[in-house]
């Protein structure tokens, strides 16, 4: 019997709630109400422990890290208890960013790592992300095994109560220190590779302002990232605070890749970074100045803010990846590999003629684990910063990171702090650099999510998907619209229509969120033309009726 999956796109997530009386009810709360609890995490921990023990035939070792969400203590205790019941040795890493947990897995030579977080979700949510011994996020095959075994454990009906002694770790480490050490090493690697002397740079001229404002969303980096950059002579000021709840009206999770604002809109905004930028800067800042950066709560994403003629805009993951590629190209790199998700700007991947170097473009499902999977399945051997990168427009950039224990070995990880560092260095390289290839000319792209959707009704195929496809073809006219369905590994609910309209390449993607009760519609085109916004509106109206208000199912 195939049991329901517990994982979404990036781990298990839900609102933290009190534990039910039985293991079965605890798991059902995740599936049916999007709620996580300590009892469910005991079962999940036991399932993970049994799988590791079966594969390793010895006492495995697992390291657990977490962010500062108020419900995390219960979830960490549940995982620890469950792992101990399967004879797993447990290390507690403390409060740390998600990429810091990646480092902790490698540094402690653990067999797996568990990061207790819900990323950019509200602070009332939490969850868990699984990392293997190589610091890679879990893939669907493992998540299916975890779910099946967890349901088997729950169906036994034993329903044990937590043991206070079993909730304690066998060992504790300070993972944040290791993460900071790796970031310092990465800054030096990148600067050396790009031939930049950080201390000699005139950062005020490079930025266009006196100091960059950083919003770490109240996450682990809040207390040390800006201070560390300042010590290197890079003027950065942190504005988020540990006194506010994680992700509350701040950080990258509250920003969208296509956002832009006037100065007046920024002054009236409830978002901490936008309001702070308007309060700290006058409106005569030069166009194109880099004025702000935002991480998400668990520190694996970064978005930048740059001035426009009358306000500011987001520099998204697509543009940041392109900036790195242009920097590599300008210093004589001959080959690079770039992986992008199905939501990437169509103009980026079709404009490689801008580069002197050879660029290998790869496409993958949404989620940074798929970026890593496309780029490499093994350690990367290199004395220098490897020229591979994966990006999502949401600010996930997967880059090579030096192994904390093995010389000239590199792992792959998405790290918002490292992304910020890369962009600062690239910005310094671009300053008065006439050898830089032009940036890509952005195409047209809009993404809107339908909230509170019944995700069971959208499968990416069936009558509902057929209706959407017919609507699009009818809207443009059969003579001018040439679209075909395309499948992507890892996207189980995706309808992806790719082709052209009037010889202009377009793409329509509709998929369920794996982390929230949302269904996302992304419409992309190589260039803007009349009718795109109206089509998106029609699709949203139709699916909202079917997925939110309709009582019928596909």
pLDDT, mean over the chain: 94
Token pair belonging to 262: 């006037």
Query: Rg for the chain (alpha carbons), in Å?
Result: 23
* Residues forming a β-bridge with 456: none
Token pair belonging to 151: 């349901």
Question: 260 pLDDT exceeds 80?
Answer: yes
Q: Give mean pLDDT, residues 363-392.
A: 93
Q: Give mean pLDDT, residues 251-264.
A: 93
DSSP β-ladder status, 335-341 and 290-295: unpaired
CA quadruple 408, 411, 416, 422: dihedral sign: positive
Return the DSSP state at 468: H
Percent of the chain topping pLDDT 90: 86
Q: Comparing C-alpha atoms, which of 132, 52, 65, 128 is closest to residue 94?
A: 65
pLDDT single digits (tens) 13-52: 999 999 999 999 999 999 999 999 999 999 999 999 999 9
Per DSSP, the residues of 348-367 read HHT-GGG-SSEEEEEEE-SS
Alpha-helix runs per DSSP H in 391-482: 416-430, 462-476
Q: Comparing C-alpha atoms, which of 66, 26, 32, 16 is closest to residue 46?
A: 26
Q: What residue has token string 């990437």?
A: 344
Q: Which residue has the higher pLDDT, 442 or 19?
A: 19
CA quadruple 429, 430, 436, 438: dihedral sign: positive
Show the CA angle centred on residue 13, arms to residues 150 and 256, nearest 5°: 150
Return the DSSP state at 252: G
> What pLDDT is stored for residue 515 in this prediction?
65
The model's confidence at residue 552, banded by pLDDT at 50, 70 and 90, is: very low
CA–CA dist 129, 12 (Å, integer)? 7
CA distances (Å), origin 511, targets 318, 464, 496, 508: 20, 13, 9, 10
pLDDT single digits (tens) 174-233: 999 999 999 999 999 999 999 999 999 999 999 999 999 999 999 999 999 999 999 999
The model's confidence at residue 553, banded by pLDDT at 50, 70 and 90, is: very low
- Could you give the 3-state DSSP secondary structure of residue 306? strand
Q: Give mean pLDDT, residues 236-254.
A: 94
CA–CA dist 429, 424 (Å, integer)? 9
Q: In what order do the strands lie in the sheet with 358-364?
A: 358-364, 335-341, 388-391, 397-402, 409-414, 380-381
Backbone angles phi, psi at 213, to 5 degrees: -90, 130
DSSP β-ladder status, 61-66 and 112-116: parallel
Per DSSP, the residues of 221-244 read GGGTHHHHHHHTT--EEE---TTS
Distant-in-sequence, close-in-space partners of 180: CB < 8 Å, separation ≥ 6? 224, 228
Q: What residue has token string 């100065």?
A: 263
The model's confidence at residue 554, banded by pLDDT at 50, 70 and 90, is: very low
CA–CA dist 154, 30 (Å, integer)? 13
Domains (ranges, CATH) in the chain? 12-173 (3.40.120.10), 444-549 (3.30.310.50)
Q: Is the pTM of this model over 0.85?
A: yes
Per DSSP, the residues of 149-211 read HHHHHHHT---PPPPTTTTS-SEE--HHHHHHHHHHHHHHHHHHHHT--GGG--HHHHHTSS-
Question: 151 pLDDT exceeds 50?
Answer: yes
- Could you give the 3-state DSSP secondary structure of residue 447? strand
Question: 435 pLDDT exceeds 90?
Answer: no
* Cβ neighbours of 32 (radius 10 Å): 10
pLDDT single digits (tens) 521-541: 999 999 999 999 999 999 999
CA–CA dist 45, 53 (Å, integer)? 12
The model's confidence at residue 350, banded by pLDDT at 50, 70 and 90, is: confident
Token pair belonging to 24: 């079965």
């Amino acid at each position: 019997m195939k049991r329901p999956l517990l994982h979404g796109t990036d781990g298990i997530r839900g609102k933290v709630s009190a534990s039910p009386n039985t293991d079965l009810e605890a798991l059902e709360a995740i599936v049916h109400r999007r709620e996580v609890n300590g009892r469910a995490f005991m079962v999940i921990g036991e399932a993970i422990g049994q799988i590791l023990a079966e594969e390793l035939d010895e006492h495995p070792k697992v390291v657990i890290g977490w962010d500062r969400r108020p419900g995390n203590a219960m979830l960490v205790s549940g995982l620890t208890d469950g792992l101990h019941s399967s004879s797993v040795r447990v290390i507690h890493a403390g409060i740390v960013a998600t990429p810091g947990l990646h480092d902790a897995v490698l540094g402690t030579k653990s067999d797996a790592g568990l990061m207790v977080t819900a990323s950019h979700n509200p602070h009332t949510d939490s969850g868990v992300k699984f990392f293997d011994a190589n610091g890679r996020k879990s893939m669907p095959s493992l998540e299916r095994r975890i779910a099946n075994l967890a349901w088997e454990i729950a169906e036994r009906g034993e329903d044990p109560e937590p043991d206070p002694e079993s909730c304690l770790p066998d060992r504790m480490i300070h993972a944040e220190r290791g993460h900071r050490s790796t970031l310092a090493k990465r800054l030096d690697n990148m600067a050396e590779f790009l031939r930049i002397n950080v201390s000699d740079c005139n950062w005020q001229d490079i930025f266009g302002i006196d100091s960059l404002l950083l919003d770490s969303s109240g996450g682990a980096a809040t207390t040390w990232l800006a201070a560390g950059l300042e010590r290197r002579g890079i003027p950065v000021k942190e504005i988020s605070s540990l006194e506010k709840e994680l992700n509350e009206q701040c950080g990258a999770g509250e920003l969208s890749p296509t956002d832009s604002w006037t100065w007046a809109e920024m002054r009236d905004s409830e978002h901490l970074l936008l309001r702070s930028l308007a309060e700290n800067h006058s409106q005569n800042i030069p166009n194109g100045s880099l004025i702000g950066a935002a991480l998400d709560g668990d520190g694996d994403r970064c978005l930048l803010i740059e001035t426009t003629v009358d306000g500011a805009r987001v520099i998204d993951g697509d543009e940041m990846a392109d900036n790195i590629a242009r920097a590599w190209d300008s210093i004589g790199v001959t080959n690079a590999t770039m992986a992008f998700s199905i939501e990437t700007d169509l103009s980026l991947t079709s404009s490689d003629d801008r580069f002197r170097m050879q660029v290998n473009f790869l496409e993958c499902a949404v989620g940074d684990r798929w970026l890593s999977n496309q780029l490499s399945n093994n350690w990367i051997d290199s004395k220098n910063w490897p020229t591979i990168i994966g990006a999502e427009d949401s600010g996930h950039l997967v880059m090579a990171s030096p192994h904390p224990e093995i010389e000239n070995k590199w792992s792959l990880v998405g790290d918002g702090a490292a992304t910020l560092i890369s962009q600062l260095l690239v910005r310094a390289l671009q300053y008065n650099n006439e050898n830089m290839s032009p940036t890509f000319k952005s195409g047209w792209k809009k993404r809107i999510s339908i909230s509170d959707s019944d995700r069971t009704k959208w499968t990416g195929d069936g009558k509902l998907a057929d209706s959407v496809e017919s609507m699009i073809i009818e809207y443009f006219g059969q003579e001018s619209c040439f679209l075909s369905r395309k499948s992507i590994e890892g996207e189980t609910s995706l309808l992806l229509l790719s082709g052209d309209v009037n010889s202009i390449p377009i793409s329509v993607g509709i998929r369920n969120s794996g982390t929230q009760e949302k269904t996302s519609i992304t419409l992309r085109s190589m260039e803007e033309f009349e009718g795109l916004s109206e089509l998106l509106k029609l699709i949203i109206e139709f699916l909202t009726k079917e997925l939110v208000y309709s009582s019928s199912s596909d």
